[in-house]
Structure 1
């Protein structure tokens, strides 16, 4: 009711006031500002609030105008300055336009000169590049013409070769004349430099020719490498080096033989000439040492041969000889090879070395020493062949000396064998091997020991097929040369022990028929015991001797068995029984249906008077009585090897038992016809009893 009494305008104001959001930031800020100058909250103050606020705003605007007046004055000053700058700019622009019109011909001329300068600089660079590729620098010319050979010299020489190669590209263009002139100039430089380099290398090599193991400097290596570009000069230089080393090596070898080293140490080699093995070994050792030094010098200086190897087989007989085509190809490629140079260098000592070795061998050294010298030559021949090639003269000299030592060795073996065959040893009374067997086997063992010692230096591992083949090929002729005459002499000596021999050892004494077999068995066993059969190279010879031993032992056992069977009468019976053996076999295959068949009965062993059951039983009884006697069976006491003697006794007992058992089985065979006459009932002893008596296992 009270609200409706308010005036409409007041109502709007009240509503507007009520709608004001007092928590707004603007309201809070306005009230805060109002509180700064609204000090008294009275009715008068509230009524004049509007005018107070307006006065406050007017005061603020007046302050703003006072402050802005200074800024306006500053802007007026800036405007004045800008107008002055604009006037100056217009003046400068007019001056520049006038100047540009005046200097335009100069700018055009400057651009033309810049283009000309670029062209001149390009030509200068082209000339510089041309001189770099086709001309030598003054310092390079000085290095080539100077006396010193060093890095600058080789660098300049490389530049000459490079320029010479670069000139070839000019020949493919329209600058052919310039290319030919430059190539001619560089060729002149090269020829002069290479000739000077060749003389320098020769001088350097002559200066180091007197040293045993000269050192090759980097400069000398580079010089020789550069000379390879001229094969003729390189070959000439290499030949000069080889000649210098050839003469120096000869002098050093003679000095080592006669005067020894500096101050007498090491002592002269010829001071040991009374000891052939040491004398030859010292010479070959010196040669090998010199060869190692010379090879190192040559390989370092001239390079290694293509295709050369240091792992060749020790067996020189299997070394392949280089063909003449290979040598010519090697010389064509490298001018001259290291094998050829080393061959020429060591050619100087071939003759004095060969003469001294042959002098030693012509004195006919002892047998073992000859073999040791042959092995020594084979060892050094392998070393030399791997260093200078198997076709070198030094290798040929060592091969010739080795062959001569082997020839002297086998001649001595042959002489001893012939002497042994001409005068065979007389068998001792106890049929033991003669002393010649032990002496010969002792010599053979010494030879084999020397060979095994030589094989220890073989680069191939033990058991290698190549090593085994080489050992067999080298030791087999020695075994044949030693053992064949020995066995022949033993057999000739054993002939005097045969009962029917034209001359006997003792005309009065009764000779055992088996004596010659026992004697040969003892000799063969002694040889086998002395032969190292564990070596593969000895297996074939040991097998041959074992076969001979088996043959003699079988013959000895057979003769003793025949003697026992003949004494009791079984020998003839067994021989006749064996004549009926085919018939008995056929009867077993197709037995007769009628025992009364006379045609069959006529072919039976029982129908033979010599094979009657009474005679067989009597012979078998005599056999049992004979083998029951302890002195009947042979004991072979004269066989010295216990195992062989036991084997012979065992075979005799077994063969006797088998003979008795065979005859007993024939009598017990229904097809033999003996069952009608009582069969085995007429035989008192059985095969088992005989086996027990003989001790057959």
Structure 2
């Protein structure tokens, strides 16, 4: 609308044939009028139609529906002024009405002010009359609030610090059971005792002291009741029953806060369990039941174990089973998650400083595992005393070295098991370990007596050169001892196992080997070497069965030395039986041969003896060494002796050939018909000897 309006305005002069922009118009005859019109046009053209006021004016013109005609333009200002006057009149009328309303409001406010002033006068009079009563009421309300606060404090104090007579009866009366209510009230009284110390920091300490004294008295009575109840329960406690009362476990953990009472309970418990365990052990030995409610399961040990070793083994097995059962049961009773007993005892030590010793001052921490092991030691002390007495009786009543040694190893084996269960410093081990030493002393004594008894046999050499009976018997005994040692000693260290068995070897073998050596020293060669080899070889074979007893390193040099000497003896035997001994001993050069055996008949006699010896030489040699029990070694010795014999023969043969060559090489080159060559008299060759001996 605005756009069309200005377009029409700009185009109307030209259409009318003489607009106000035309230079030829009469209205522009004078210069001032022309300048004003130009200025007006310039102002209109320079105006920004984006201005909000212009845009609003143009919008109003659009709403009026005006057309761009001369008449409309002439009447526009008048119409606008007329509308403005009418609007101002309406505004004046509206403001007149507003003035009337404001007058009425002013009158109402005036009336309200008068009413408020009157009310203030009445209120002032009422305040003057009721002021003392209000002050008194305020004082009463303050006192009421203080009384209510004190009542709340009193109720809270009574609820926290005061225990009812019913609860006190449950806590301290022995007629009341020890149940969950007892422990609940005990925890509350302990809380009261702890919180009463806070009251000691207040201005009035009397109340705190009274509550502290009263709570301490209640706690002492409660712990005394708990202590007596635990003692009664311990008398009837059956550790073999897997369903052990949880109340006892809880009572012991609570009682740990009084170390003196707790230790007294442990002492009482240990005495009761020691008596019960000793009776059960005696019942297991004899078959007589402790009471009708606990019959003996299975046969009595004394009736079923006829073998002394089985008897000792069954007693140790019973003690081990009882120790495991006792430990498991006591672990359920005294070892808890969170280490509650240790915490309770630490609390008790802090509350009873007079009960601490110097050592506890240095190390006040409670070791539950150590205390458990000590309690198990005390519970089974009676069992181990009976075990020790009966084992010592078995050792004393049987003069058997193998039995004593087996008992010693058995005790060592079970000692290692008890060590893993109870620790190195267990008092039970102090009772058990001396049994091993006692058995070993008996073993040594019996072995030395046996060596003394066979001294007469040590002077008698066997005719068949077999190992003496005392050596065979000693090796059989040693076989049993080695087996016992191997099955009972659990140490994985080989050096330790070897060192542990050496004392046994010194007692059970070395004296008999020394006796065999004395016998061989009295015999002649080769019998002495045959007997020595038979003894050493059987000893070596027996000892090699177990690594910890193997003496191959020690025995092998002796065996090799006797083997060498026996080979030398057989070599001499070959030379003597074949007749070559005189040749080997007397002839070293050709000249020795020519001077000693100038007569060929002597060589012919030796050759005949050699021919008669060779066909049966090997068999005869085997017969000569028939008493050597190791046939492979005998064959090896014969082969070595034969080889040395062949070497000796080849040296003699070489000398014979040299002598014949010297005789054949005469100065004139002629051979005498009476000359006889030694090869013709002694025709055997080294190869033939080897073939015949093979």
The one-character-per-residue Cα deviations of 1:473-516 (angstroms, maximum 9, x if unpaired) are 44222222332243244335546643xxxxxxxxxxxxxx3111
The one-character-per-residue Cα deviations of 1:580-619 (angstroms, maximum 9, x if unpaired) are xxxxxxxxxxxxxxxxxxxxxxxxxxxxxxx999559989
Would the aligned equivalents of 1:259 and 1:267 in 2 still touch at CA under 8 Å? no
2:558 to 537, 548, 554: 548
Q: What secondary structure sits across from 1:192 in the alignment? A: helix
1:51 to 74, 78, 98: 78
1:197-216 matches, within 5 Å, as: 197-209=226-238, 211-212=239-240, 216=244
The one-character-per-residue Cα deviations of 1:91-140 (angstroms, maximum 9, x if unpaired) are 44444455555555556556666776777678778878877887656565
Deviation at 1:517, TM superposition (A): 1.1
1:135-146 matches, within 5 Å, as: 136=163, 140-146=167-173
- Distance in 1 (CA, whole Å) between partners of 2:86 and 2:162 is 98
Deviation at 1:241, TM superposition (A): 1.7
Would the aligned equivalents of 1:212 and 1:290 in 2 still touch at CA under 8 Å? no
Alignment partner, residue 223 of structure 1:
251
For the pair 1:427 / 2:437, whether they are aligned, the reply is no
Would the aligned equivalents of 2:401 and 2:447 in 1 still touch at CA under 8 Å? yes
Alignment partner, residue 270 of structure 1:
302
Number of residue pairs the alignment of both structures matches? 590
Moved more, 560-569 or 32-41: 560-569
Deviation at 1:522, TM superposition (A): 2.1
Q: What secondary structure sits across from 1:20 in the alignment? A: helix
Closer, same or farther: CA 128–527 of 1 in aligned 2, 3 Å: same
1:2 to 24, 44, 48: 24
What TM-score results when the alignment is normalised by the length of structure 1? 0.66
For the pair 1:478 / 2:479, whether they are aligned, the reply is no
Alignment partner, residue 602 of structure 1:
none
Deviation at 1:524, TM superposition (A): 0.4
Would the aligned equivalents of 1:361 and 1:408 in 2 still touch at CA under 8 Å? yes
Moved more, 125-134 or 284-293: 125-134
For the pair 1:529 / 2:541, whether they are aligned, the reply is yes
1:401-416 matches, within 5 Å, as: 401-414=435-448, 416=450
Closer, same or farther: CA 51–172 of 1 in aligned 2, 3 Å: closer
Deviation at 1:278, TM superposition (A): 3.6
Would the aligned equivalents of 1:163 and 1:186 in 2 still touch at CA under 8 Å? yes
- Distance in 2 (CA, whole Å) between partners of 1:364 and 1:327 is 49
Larger radius of gyration: 2
Deviation at 1:202, TM superposition (A): 0.6
Alignment partner, residue 349 of structure 1:
383
The one-character-per-residue Cα deviations of 1:184-215 (angstroms, maximum 9, x if unpaired) are 54443344333222211110101115x53565
What TM-score results when the alignment is normalised by the length of structure 2? 0.66
Deviation at 1:149, TM superposition (A): 2.1
Deviation at 1:525, TM superposition (A): 1.3
The gaps in structure 2 that reach 5 residues or longer are: 1-22, 340-357, 650-677, 679-684
Would the aligned equivalents of 1:417 and 1:481 in 2 still touch at CA under 8 Å? no
The one-character-per-residue Cα deviations of 1:361-402 (angstroms, maximum 9, x if unpaired) are 455386655443332222223334555677777545544544
For the pair 1:444 / 2:478, whether they are aligned, the reply is yes
For the pair 1:16 / 2:40, whether they are aligned, the reply is yes
- Distance in 2 (CA, whole Å) between partners of 1:394 and 1:617 is 90
- Distance in 1 (CA, whole Å) between partners of 2:250 and 2:234 is 14
Would the aligned equivalents of 1:368 and 1:446 in 2 still touch at CA under 8 Å? yes
Deviation at 1:24, TM superposition (A): 2.0
Alignment partner, residue 674 of structure 1:
none
Closer, same or farther: CA 99–617 of 1 in aligned 2, 3 Å: farther
Alignment partner, residue 517 of structure 2:
491
2:283 to 255, 265, 268: 255
1:339-378 matches, within 5 Å, as: 341-350=375-384, 352-354=386-388, 356-358=390-392, 360-361=394-395, 364=398, 368-378=402-412
Closer, same or farther: CA 33–249 of 1 in aligned 2, 3 Å: closer
Alignment partner, residue 311 of structure 2:
279
The gaps in structure 1 that reach 5 residues or longer are: 307-324, 499-512, 574-610, 661-683
- Distance in 2 (CA, whole Å) between partners of 1:31 and 1:352 is 131
- Distance in 1 (CA, whole Å) between partners of 2:271 and 2:326 is 13
